[in-house]
Each structure stands twice: as structure tokens, then as C-alpha cells.
Chain A
């Protein structure tokens, strides 16, 4: 069940609970301990309501394919992209396709029966298993050489403030959906609050010393001992803070644009801020796994900045014959693809700390969707567009599969991340293991 983390978790994440200890543990050092095996990262990026097949899927297979309108922004990364058609979400059971498309996307397993009624089918609850990103994260966190401060980070952009089957794709376990953080300031606090507070703390310790001295001079000799002892501790803390300040930090705390409100028209700004924070968090090796969820399944973003005034979901229901809607939907998906391209660009231009190459050389982004196509609500041909060189897949290709279950792609991702498993989610859809032709 959905359970908000407690404030204690929040502080633990901030690392404040050990405000004095952290100065010994320089954050970056955790991640750079082992340079033997290359770091591997996985990002799952989600956008809703299906795509327009004719402006999305390349006509050709293999390495000689042309990018169509929806995927045009990927042109600079064509050689580092892998477009997979024919991967299908075959999980059935309770819930309508939007719900299953979302809840089974990364879990590969049925939803529990429940009280959430969709537009059709039976009502359903949460997914009955954990999601692949969390499976991989658990594996990485269990090993000292791949353990990072957070393990995984769940980003969001304009995710509605309600927890239901349409708004959650990441699961820590059966009935345990994880909420994405869609407020960049909240994410910033989670990532950097500690360093900011340490700076503030540093700036007050002199004053504390001064006043201790002043107070101390007015009290009896016997009582003064206690304050002298106290003053020693404050001095020690100041010293430790100073030392940690001199140590090399992987990268400076990023500046983020202040005062951006969470509202529809700010989606482009929020998207950029979240991507920047994600890239920074990778550079600092805070996590090796991340998700980026744009709105939600049936999300209704109004992309007025593209000249599209209708909500995304309502547009997606219009028939293929409605050319205007098809154009608008193509624009919308192209905009999402631009976000993907921006993410790839930022990763590509950020050097891999402690190793050669760029972050993108060690990161795989998987862009996906809860549906194949909006107006049919099909779960066939779920779009999976991969960018980056994190997983030793052979990139720069377009592959068409004969309707293989998406569980097998989830297995491929786990294997690519160094976690070979035989089954994930519903075992009936795991067939012969990871998808063929990827490497």
C-alpha cells in the first residue's frame, strides 16, 4: 500500500541524522571506490497515451533506418539509439488498459483486484509485484561496489497529487507503489539539503563560541568547567567542517532556477530542471537507477507552448482519420522526444567522473509509454526507444520483433545491468529469457 515516508526518512536521506559524521564521509568517495568494472546506469522515461505509429516507427529494420517526425530530435544520437517495435504488454487481469499499461509496464505482473474503476473492464488495485528498476536497484544496493547514497531516484514532472493505479509505475513490492518527486525543489533538498545546511552551520559556529565565552566569564569556576568542555566540542566540530570543506567534492551544488511553480505551463521548465538534477546526481554518483515520469497514465498535459490547447488524453482518443489530432499528437510526442534528446545531450556532455568518456557512455535511457496507441488503447507495440551505451547493447538500429512479451525486455535490462535473472513478473511471459538481437 502507498505509504508516505516519514519525516525521519526525509532527514535520513538528507543525511542530517549524522551531521557530524558526514564530514568524514565525503559523499563522492562512496561511488568511486571501485573502478574495476565500469559503472552502469539505467533511466526509464515515461510519457503517456500512446504514440502515432505512422510518425513514430521507422520503416526499415537494421542500421539503415530513417527517423520519422516524432523521433526527429534523436538525430544527433541516431548511432546511439535502439528502437524496438513489436514488444507487447501481454499482462491481463483486472483493470483497464491505461491502468494495466502503467501498473504492469515495469512490473510485468497483474494488478490486484481492487476498488479503482477505469473506463472499462473490472476495477483493480495496485500491481502485485515490484518493478524492474527497483529489482535492479536492490541488487546494486546489496553490493558494496555498486552501492550509492540513494540507489534510485524517482523523478516526475507534473504528476497529479493523488495516488492511484494511473499515477504510479514504480513499485517497491506488491501493493507498494513509490511516488515520484515532481517538485524540483523537493528533489534538490533531497540531494543537496545537507550540504546547504552544513554551510549555514559553518557560518554560525564562531558566534556560538563567542557567546559561550561571554556567558562563561560570568559564572562560577566550578560551573565553568562544563562550558569549557562544551566549547571544546564546538571547536572540534568547526575544525571537522573546515577539513571537509577543503576536500574535493565531485561537483559543485547546482544552481536551480528559483520560484518555478508547479503548473501546466511550466512543464518545459520543470522538465529541464529535473533532467539537470538527474544528470548532476549521476555525476555525484548518488544513484545508478532513475525514473522520469511525465504526468501520468491518461495524463492530460496541455502543451500550449506547442500551440496545442487540448489536453493530451482527450486528443489521443480521436480517430486516425482526424488528421489535425494526429498532427498534434505527433507534436506532443516529438516534444517528449526532445526531452529525451536533451537528457542524452546533457549526459553526453558530462564527463564520467573518475573514468574516461561521458556519462552517456555508461547510461541507458529507456523511453516508454503505457499504451501502443491512444485511440485503440492497445498494449501491443508499446514504444521502447533506447538511447545511450550503458548496457552493451548494439546501438544505432531499429528492430522489429514478432510480438514478444515485454517481460523479456525487462529481463534484458536486468541482465544488461549485471543482474541476470530468469524470470520477472508473470513467468508465463518470460519465455526464453531476455530478448534476442539486442547485443
Chain B
């Protein structure tokens, strides 16, 4: 902001040169001109980098005439006047914009809204399902012979029984109950495999998802699909029957009957992954109440700025939210007995339904209702002697179509503690505040940063935070859409769907391990030399595990691993079907890890075909293709970062040679200061990145945007720097960073953001609106 005077005079000189030589093409304020250079001059190169580029390439009709000091001065001027992010921010001050709920927030909100009216349940440390074994084909208390917890349901009894001493293999039955935790949102396919008969319920315990109680023909595999919302446990019940159903056989006939083989397996297919036995870590013997999951599809949010935000509306969105309101209203009226706790023939039914509707509206609007709103949203619908059930339906539809539900912070008048409660819960959960938060708001206990931080810490272990963080990391790693990473089967035999599915799980387990460990050290994401492998992966990647081993953290194995930078899932994602792709890997490091913005290539370019350049290594081919100056302005950064992972082939297997030639995994990293550091191999690259301030800032900024869904610069020009210093002070603790982000933004009302920006542009002193006195500028 405040430049020293020599620098200032340099800039003035630079401005003069710019006006003379550059403005005719780039526009007076770098905005560009339609004919010559329509793109605005904005980006994230440093002043030395810019100077270098100018000296080499500018003016484009006569390069080499703006060099040395001139180039440096022009670069400094451009940088500070409009090129840098800070300059951009000054030009167009970001503000906290009015936003509707994003798709994710909408889905979570309606689910939690309905869950308010269900009995609470807690996902505790017990894993597996509660199992009851009966020595008859029907579940009768007196024939229950075994009760225990089963980690997974995957049994092949053959001609025997689960407990030959107590159970006759000809006829028995088993019931498993509990919940299944679903990691991500999407269509889940549940699969029951049995040679006998079975029924499976998921979420809705009244209607089976799979009814295979009639064994018919040769079928031994039964499937049912259900849409589930990630980060939540769903009730599950599996009933298994061995023996015939229908008319009971006589004793003699029974004695003569042969033993048939028996088996049962409970499996699932995560969205776009392979079928697997539902792992123990996703099962709990605690049964959860039914969860409402919205079926209506909603149009995707705008992600053009790198994170989902709700700052636009469309006709499709209005229609979708209408459909959704109807869907919720139908669900609510169909489940009134459970949700409102009122019997169909209760004498006080109307009063109870009115109370229910009021609570529903308050929860949806995240605040108590004023008398006026009570009248508008609740009482009016119950007033004329109409069917109270229809009144509920109308009111629910109206509440969900109301701007007070659909938008964040839209109440009339001043922002208050209830807004703060919402900022915290949408920040951590993308959902409505829970009871405790609303109580704190009511009691005036959300007024200080410390109070907010305490709430955030309380809410951190919640499964909804897990789901949100997980989704953020998968986005950050650019794999949230589950990429198709199938490879050339001739070159990579055995790299099948099951391996790909396991790799995603392996990445998931690794991230989970770092994020939820005590130190939660962000740097470990880049530095860890461990890899989660199961038997199948171990065989493929050459580690020493038994073939049926469950996932296990394997240290320094296979070799040279550096966290996500060398994780085979990412290595395979950032690769072609036959060869690695240093460019994709370099782009990933540049964009995600370093947070740099890259323009797309000036024209669509197909990679050079390996077989046409048989003598070249992948690295050499890439170098050859990106040699032109026009390429090097970006590839000068991308390639030296991407080459560091050349020790990993297209499936992420460690290699020392490629087609008989030694791998060269050396490269360089140029910091924003212009300082260039050379490195060799993924581990050294990871070390450089993990220690780089640029990496830390990029991570903070991306996490901030995911949490808050508003531009970080709307919170003042010092927000990022402050978060960075606390991130460093806290040992790069990821969860503490989230708490800090929430604590530093939850107390900022929408209008205050604008005031800061106004002051910033008016050229006056910038101060911190939220903690006056903490920061003093000299």
C-alpha cells in the first residue's frame, strides 16, 4: 500500500514508458484493447518475472526495445497499478455478496431441517453391526442362540452353520442391525449375495431396498440402488434366512431333507467405484432414525471462481427449488405422525400441527419468528377451518420457497447473533445451525471471537465437518468427480477397476489420517512417505502384504513417496493411458498447490505421439513440444514442476528407467520473489513446496473460499496474511486453520464488508473493522 519514495518514482517512470509503448495495445489501465490484446493484464507473476518477460517479448512488434531498467520499471508499474491480485482487488473491491444456499447447502439444510424432529443418535467408536442368530427360520426370541457384533457381513457357511453346536445347518436365520456411514453424496448400489434368501433395508426401515425373501431360480445376487447424502449414517437392517418358507414341512420330511449350502455377503458400490464388502469402518451397531434425502435434482452452482457460490439465480434453479419444496412437503405430510409426534385421531391434533409448523419455519429461517412472520408463515394457514394436514403442506411449501430460507442473511434490519450462528454452521457443515448454536445465539454467547472459536471447536468432530473437509480436499486435488483413469491394458496389465477403486480408498484413508490426526499438519499431505495399501494394491505396487490384507499404512514403500504428490491415484489421474504426463502433474502443482492461475494454451494442442518419437523420453517429448516462446511463458513454470514426478509411471508405479533410459526427475521451482531452487525427485520437490509461503497462502485461500463462499479480499486486505501467520504459529494445523477462518469471518456482517472495501478504494487509511486497535498502521 505505502511504497517508499524511490520505488514510487520508479513506478512513475514506469508509467511513462507504459503510456508510450504499451497502452495502445493493452489499454490505459491494462484492460486490453479489442483488436490487439483483448485480455486484461492480470495474473500472478512476480515483478522480476514480468520484467524478464517484457524484456524478451515486448513490444510484440519490436521485442528487445524495452529492456533493463525500463523493463523493470514498467513491470513494477504494471504490477502495482493493475496486474497483481492486490491491485485487482483495489480496482474492483470485492464485497460480501448476497448469496442463496448452494446446492450442497440446500441439500444438507432440508435434511437437517427434518432431522430436527427425529430422535438424536450418535456415531460413536463402536464398529460393525449388531447380529442375532436364530436356530429357526423365523425370528423368535426363544430361538435366538447367539448375539454378537459382526465387523463385516461376509460369510460362507457352506454345508455347516455359523455355530454348529447350537445351530442346525438346515434351517436358521440371522438379523443384522445398525447403521452404515456414507462417505460421499450419490447413488449407492447395495448388493446382497446369498445362495439362500434375504432382505435388506437401508434408511427406510419400513420398505426393503432389496427383497430376496423368495429364492427363485439361480439368482444369488440382488441389487438395489438408493441416493444418499454424504457424511451421514443411515439405518441398515439385513435379514438372512436358510431353509424353506411357506408351508412348514413335517418332521419326517425335515429329517430327510438334504443340507443346502449357505452363504451371505453384504456389499456396496460407492458412486462410480467397484463393488466391495461394506467395510467395518463404515458400520455401526447404533441404529439411526430415517434421514430425508432430497431426490429433486438441482442445477449446479457457479464455480467459475474456483469454489461453489450462490450469487446467481436462474429459472432452472427457481423451478428446482419449487420441485424440492413440493417433495419436502409431501415427505413431511406423509411422515407427520413421526415428525410432529401426533396421532391421526388426537384431539389436539390441530394445535400440535401448528406448533410443529412454527418450529419448522423457525428452524428453516435459522431464527425465531417475529409476530408478523408467525402470522404469515404459520397461523394464517391454520386459521380457516381447513384440513390441518393441508395447512402443514402449504406452510412447508411456503417456508421452503421463502427468501428467508433460500438466501443467507436476508433478515430485515440489523445483523444479529442468529446470523453469526448461521455463518458458523454453514462454514463448517454447509448446513443449518444446530440446537446448541441457536441456544448460544439466543443467550448472547456468540459475541466474541473466542466464543465463536469455541463453538467451531465443538462442531469440528461432527460427521458433517468430515464430509465437507473431505470434499474440499478432493476438489483441491482435482479428483472430486471420480476421473476415468483406465489405462492401456497391454502396458499395465492388472490395472483394473478394482485397483482404481482401491486407490481412491487409499487416498481417502491417507487424507483422513492426516486431517484428523492430532497434529493435522498440512505439510504431511505433501511430505508423508507412507501409503495405504491393501492386499490387492500391495501385489500390484510391489509391497509385501498378504493377498487378502485389509488397508494398512505402509512406510517408505514402495519408494520415494511424497504424500499426494506421488500418490498413485493422482499419478494415474495426471497421466495418459500409456505414458505419464509431466504437464498435467505440473499444472496440478501450479494451480492447486501453488494457487497460480494459468491461462489455457493459446490453441488446442494434442500431445506428441510417443511412437512417432520413439527415441525420446516423455520428458524430452514434452520439452520439445513446449519449446516455442509462446508456450514457455507458462510451461517455463509448469514443466520444471511436473518433471519432479517422472519417477512414477502412468499408474503411479515407481520406475528408474523409461524404455531403457534412466529417468530424470530433476526440476526447479521459482518462487514469486524470482528466486529459483533446483531439486531432484518428488521428495525434494515436496520439501520445497511444503516450506513455501506461496503454498501456504494458496492452501489457506482455497480452504477459505470453500468454507466461507465469499472472496477472501472482501474481508479486508490483511485477512490472508493474518490467517497465514496463525497457520504457521499453529504448526500448519489444518483443523485449527478452519477454526480461525470461521472465527475471523463469523462476526463480519455483509454490509461491513462493503464499508471496508469503500474505505480501501477511497484511498483513506485502512483499518480493521472487527478488531479495532489490534492493527495499527504507520
The verdict on A33 contacting chain B, using a C-beta distance below 8 Å, is no
B181-222 interface code vs A (CB 8 A; 1 in, 0 out): 000000000000000110000000001111111111111001
A309 within 8 A of B: no
Partner of B322, one of A20, A116, A211: A20
Q: A116-B244, A203-B394, A212-B403 are in contact. Are A164 and B315 (CB under 8 A)?
A: no
CA distance A164 to B249 in the complex (A): 18
Cβ-neighbour of A119 out of B210, B213, B247, B330 (below 8 A): B247
Contact digits for A221-256, partner B, Cβ 8 Å, 1 yes 0 no? 011001101100110110000000000000000000
CB atoms of B246 and A1 under 8 A apart: no
A207–B398 touching, CB < 8 Å:
yes
Binary flags per residue of B471-499, CB closer than 8 Å to A gives 1, else 0: 00000000000000000000000000000
Known: A215-B403, A219-B410, A236-B315. A164 touches B213 (CB 8 A): yes
Q: Chain B residue with minimal CB distance to A177?
A: B214
| Given A7-B295, A117-B249, also A200-B397 (CB < 8 A) | yes
Which B residues are in CB contact (< 8 Å) with A175? 216-217, 219
Say yes or no: B402 contacts A211, CB within 8 Å: yes
Instruction: Give every chain B residue within 8 A of A19 (Cβ-Cβ).
Output: 319, 322-323, 326
Distance in Å from the Cβ of B255 to the closest Cβ of chain A? 16
Which residues of A lie under 8 Å from residue B219 when comparing CB positions? 1, 175
B319-A11 in contact (CB<8A):
no
Return the CB mask of A326-347 against B: 1 if under 8 Å, else 0.
Answer: 0000000000000000000000
The answer to whether A211 and B403 touch (CB under 8 A), given A1-B222, A193-B330, A226-B98, is yes
Contact A115 B217 (CB under 8 A): no
Contact call A220/B318, Cβ cutoff below 8 A:
no
Query: Which residues of A98-127 have CB atoms within 8 Å of chain B's CB atoms?
Result: 111-119, 123-126
| A439 contacts partner chain B, Cβ-Cβ < 8 Å | no
Known: A2-B211, A117-B244. A112 touches B98 (CB 8 A): no
Measured between C-beta atoms, what is the minimum distance from A226 to chain B in Å?
Answer: 5
Q: Are B404 and A211 touching (Cβ within 8 A)?
A: yes
Are B217 and A126 closer than 8 Å at their CB atoms?
yes
B252 within 8 A of A: no
Q: Which of A124, A222, A226 has the most CB of B within 10 A?
A: A226
Q: Pick the contact of B214 from A4, A116, A200, A237 — CB < 8 Å?
A: A116
Least CB distance from A310 to B in Å reads 20
B280: Cβ under 8 A from any A Cβ = no
- Contact B412 A215, beta carbon cutoff 8 Å: yes
Interface positions of B from 721 to 749, Cβ below 8 Å from A: none
Chain B residues, Cβ within 8 Å of A230: 313, 318, 403
Contacts A114-B217, A126-B216, A226-B312; A1 near B398 (Cβ below 8 A): no
Among candidates B100, B217, B390, residue contacting A125 with C-beta atoms closer than 8 Å: B217
The residue of chain B having its C-beta at the shortest distance from the C-beta of A20 within the complex is B319
- A1-B245 Cα distance, complex, nearest whole Å: 16
Closest partner residue, chain B, to A230 (CB atom): B313
Q: Specify which of A113, A234, A236 is in contact with B217 (CB 8 Å cutoff).
A: A113
Of residues 282 through 334 on chain B, the ones whose CB sits less than 8 Å from some CB of chain A are 295-297, 311-315, 318-319, 322-323, 325-327, 329-330
Enumerate chain A residues within 8 angstroms of B315, measured Cβ to Cβ: 233, 236
Asked if B43 lies at the interface with its beta carbon under 8 angstroms from chain A, I say: no
B247 & A117 in contact (Cβ 8 Å cutoff): yes
Give complex CA distance A3, B222 in Å.
9
Q: Are A125 and B216 in contact (CB under 8 A)?
A: yes
Contact B313 A164 (CB under 8 A): no
Q: Which residues of B contact A118 (CB under 8 A)?
A: 246-247
Cross-interface CB contact of B209 among A4, A113, A193, cutoff 8 Å: A4
Q: How far is the CB of B747 from chain A (nearest CB, A)?
A: 19
Q: How far is the CA of A193 from the CA of B219 in the complex (A)?
A: 36
| Residue contact B412 to A220, C-beta cutoff 8 Å | no
> With a CB–CB cut-off of 8 A, which chain A residues contact B98?
219, 222-223, 226-227
Cα-based distance from A164 to B245 in the complex (angstroms): 10
- B16 contacts chain A at the CB level, 8 A cutoff: no
Q: Which of B31-39, B224-232, B765-773 contacts A (4 or more CB under 8 A)?
A: B224-232
Once the chains are docked, how many angstroms separate the CA of A206 from the CA of B598? Answer: 48
B295 and A117 form a contact (CB under 8 A) = no
B243 on interface, CB distance cutoff 8 Å: yes
A200 cross-chain contacts in B, Cβ below 8 A: 329, 390, 393-394, 397
Nearest B residue (CB) for A6 = B226
Q: Are B318 and A234 interface neighbours, CB within 8 A?
A: yes
- The contact string, 1 if C-beta is below 8 Å from chain B, for chain A 145-173, is 00000000000000000011100000000
Please determine whether A2 and B246 come into contact, CB atoms closer than 8 angstroms: no
Q: How far is the CA of A203 from the CA of B247 in the complex (A)?
A: 54
**Contact between chains at A207 and B376 (CB < 8 Å):** yes
Q: Which of B601-635 contact A (CB under 8 A)?
A: none
Looking at the assembled complex, report how far the CB atom of A9 sits from the nearest CB atom of chain B, in whole angstroms.
Answer: 10
Chain B residues whose CB sits within 8 angstroms of the CB of A14 once the complex forms: 330
A11 to chain B: which residues have CB within 8 Å? 295-296, 327, 330
Residue of B nearest to A210 (CB): B376
Complex CA distance for A29 and B705, rounded to whole angstroms? 49
User: How close is B678's CB to chain A, nearest CB, in angstroms?
Assistant: 49
- Give Cα A394 to B624, complex, Å: 84
- Out of A1, A115, A204, A220, which one reaches B394, CB within 8 Å? A204
Query: Which of these, B217, B313, B410, contacts A128 with CB under 8 Å?
Result: B217
A201 on the B face (CB < 8 A): yes
A437: B residues at CB distance < 8 A? none
**Complex interface: chain A residues within 8 A of B327 (CB):** 11, 16
Q: Does A174 lie at the interface of the complex (its beta carbon under 8 Å from any beta carbon of B)?
A: yes
A8 interface residue, CB < 8 Å from B?
Answer: yes
Which chain B residue shows the least CB distance to A211? Answer: B402
B413 sits at the interface (CB 8 A): yes
A260 at the interface (CB under 8 A from B): no
Quote the shortest CB–CB distance from B677 to chain A (angstroms): 45
Tell me if B330 and A197 are in contact (CB < 8 A).
yes
Shortest CB-to-CB span from B157 to chain A, Å, is: 16
Are B227's CB and A8's CB within 8 A?
yes
A38 contacts partner chain B, Cβ-Cβ < 8 Å: no
Residues of A within 8 A of B412 (CB): 214-215, 218
| B interface footprint on A1-33 (CB within 8 Å = 1, 0 otherwise) | 111101110010010111110000000000000
Check if A421 is an interface residue, CB within 8 A of chain B. Answer: no
- Check B322 against A201 for contact (C-beta < 8 Å): yes
Cβ of B754 under 8 Å from chain A: yes
Please give me the residue from chain A that is nearest to B310 by CB atom.
A226
Say whether B97 faces chain A, with CB atoms less than 8 Å apart. yes
Residue of A nearest to B293 (CB): A7
Bound-state Cα–Cα, A223 to B493, Å: 56
User: CB < 8 Å: which of A3, A18, A115 contacts B210?
Assistant: A3
Q: Please name the residue on chain A nearest to B398 by beta carbon.
A: A204
Q: Which residues of B contact A237 (CB under 8 A)?
A: 318-319, 322
**B751, CB-defined interface residue at 8 Å:** yes
- Does residue A142 face the partner (Cβ distance < 8 Å to B)? no
- Closest partner residue, chain A, to B221 (CB atom): A1
With a cutoff of 8 Å between Cβ atoms, the chain B residues found around residue A223 in the complex are 97-98, 750
27 contacts between A and B (CB under 8 A): A1-B216, A2-B211, A8-B227, A11-B296, A11-B330, A19-B326, A20-B323, A113-B216, A114-B214, A116-B246, A118-B246, A124-B216, A125-B216, A163-B213, A200-B390, A204-B394, A204-B397, A207-B398, A208-B401, A211-B404, A215-B404, A215-B411, A215-B412, A220-B751, A230-B313, A233-B319, A237-B322
Give the top 4 A-B pairs by smallest Cβ distance, nearest first.
Answer: A125-B216, A112-B217, A223-B98, A233-B318
Since A2-B212, A8-B227 are in contact, a sample of 13 more A-B pairs with Cβ atoms closer than 8 Å, ordered by chain A residue number, is: A1-B210, A4-B207, A4-B208, A16-B330, A115-B197, A115-B245, A116-B246, A164-B213, A201-B322, A201-B325, A204-B394, A207-B376, A211-B403
